[in-house]
Structure 1
């Protein structure tokens, strides 16, 4: 058991070292992309509308092995809004809609996904780096990764707290950025919380094209409220193409590469970005 646990930790470290995670902010004045640790300029903002499809007949058991489970399909429609209120404060809203289908007797779900409203506070900023703190309130919603039997029980409302750090860099004539987010999510209803690590690596091979490699990880803090101890680690490569200074198109995919007592997600995603 000790060797197996050490192998999982080593695999997670390799994943985290190779990718660098979530939450992108676009500078509306220049049309360039920055990591989420940076705040939006006052009076500027962005809206991202995205859709994703996933389905699987596999899940990760208590030993981290893939096992057959009843098939499921999930359609997600999400929005993400950021608005710079001041030099040190950016407001955030992320509504979501989920449609989940499973064969009886398993429960299906259609309705509000885990939506969020929150704010990001700047702690440090220079020309090359930024550090910030983010807090958000999340609504209840079904989640594909919470249990071995997907979507049961339903997740309660939550408070999400995280620190973000990002840095810009150059490779030859290409610009890029790396960003890391680390946080904890507190759930109501005596449901166990979870540690979060999101990482993003972004690189522009051309002025109009941004290539992203992202990872998202969750590790539950114990069990309770109908939940067992679980964890999951997801990779998400994508490309964002600037159609104009205001509009961009994102195309990519995602896959849950490892987990314990959690469902596996696999599918494509498409997003449209608008800057104002």
Structure 2
């Protein structure tokens, strides 16, 4: 897919913007090439999503959802943390309002990602393309999109989404089905798979950053304490998650803000480590 240059990334056709002068293919052909490139780049994302969503399917089955309900949830909520939080709320029979609030808090980072990604599009990109792309924003799709040189063609994001999110929903569906077929002791063992994946996410930054390490340990301790204390333990698990998330993230933002210099230094150090050790996580 190397024949797609940065100059013709533009909008869905780029025929009406400044990049149109460098187009050597028709509008439909250009969009098709970017879509295929998105499909190709989405293969490793899809592989990773399948493993995580399979564990989510086990969690959905434990929460009482059937295969159709869990698959539909994965189509509508493209975030592992947000989806798992939703399953937690469902399992506790909490109110819809609680589910809406916890989903908003857990997925708030996508507001920033979508705002940043909007700057990658040509000014002539129609609103409906921006709206569809924003629905498909995930951490990995955002990471792949921002590395595209020049302006971004939304059909590239559609290619990423079809591949990655398709496997995301399929993995969830398969997880529920296997949860109904496998023996109870195997399902119970697979139930901890998701926790292991979350540990794999938080441990590398916790080892490198003291603040993150303290916050991880503090969140574990407070979560355990809140499940045992007389007044707080009567709250649903979803409400406790909301309170702890807002409290800890707010405290960290106020007392331990990251300056722009620190962020740039961290990014430079991370790039150096990855160059020296390609297997570094």
TM-score, structure 2 normalization: 0.25
Higher RCO (C-alpha under 8 Å, 6+ residues apart): 2
TM-score, structure 1 normalization: 0.25
Q: Rg larger in 1 or in 2?
A: 2
Q: Greater helix percent: which structure?
A: 2
Q: Greater strand percent: which structure?
A: 1
